[in-house]
Structure 1
């Protein structure tokens, strides 16, 4: 009985062992890469956004404490739903952090702003 299995990547007839699934190492690698991309798509998306958020906060927060208009951050691609951890101060304000850069949403005179801070040792 002749085994006429075809490669799931390129469709070429697979020759060799009966349990062989791919026609070449290249096709096996392509299948593994595509499979990994599907399973890790969410992780990659979140990781990419965290890096964008960190870059933007770093750009505006050179002194360790600054106030930035929310619209300016959003315009540059900032997404406040993606953060790594949080810190609550004694007044009950919860700062959301993207690695070492924290932000707190505030409204002043009807305008939304973010207070941006840099992580300090006392926050541990």
Structure 2
């Protein structure tokens, strides 16, 4: 008596080992990708992805080391100011939030919300 098994991804008949689950590596990979997509995003991945996006946006909008940009422009690109790695307080008492080496400070000037963007400097370590 022969037992017929099917590939878990494409349902083709399997040949070979009795414990085989997939017909080829592509079906195995596709099945695992499909399963991963059905799982909710892990908290760590969500935070890490947002930090990476925030850093990339701050870097792109701050080519010279210091820049000013409207908050709605940065936020429309997916920036979320609630995700940062550390902060630095200057002598005036302003608290800059940093995403790795790129920092930002929210300001309101002329009834318009803006971010002042800076880059980490050696003197900030003190």
> Which blocks of at least 5 consecutive residues in structure 2 are unaligned?
none
CA contact (8 A) 1:96 1:104 kept: yes
CA contact (8 A) 1:87 1:123 kept: no
| TM value normalised by structure 2 | 0.72
Which residues in structure 2 correspond to 1:1-124 (within 5 Å)?
Answer: 1-36=1-36, 41=41, 43=45, 46-47=48-49, 49-83=50-84, 85-90=85-90, 93-124=94-125
Q: Which moved more, 1:111-120 or 1:54-63?
A: 54-63
Describe the superposition over 1:44-77 as per-residue Cα deviations: whole angstroms up to 9, x where unpaired.
Answer: 7852x44443333223323322222212212333
Distance 2:114 2:95 in 1: 15
Distance 2:47 2:11 in 1: 31
Aligned residue pairs, count? 122
> Which blocks of at least 5 consecutive residues in structure 1 are unaligned?
none
CA contact (8 A) 1:103 1:117 kept: yes
Distance 1:35 1:93 in 2: 46
Taking a change above 3 Å as real, the CA distance of residues 67 and 39 of structure 1, as seen in their structure-2 partners, is same
Tell me the C-alpha RMSD between the 2 structures: 2.9
CA contact (8 A) 1:86 1:94 kept: no
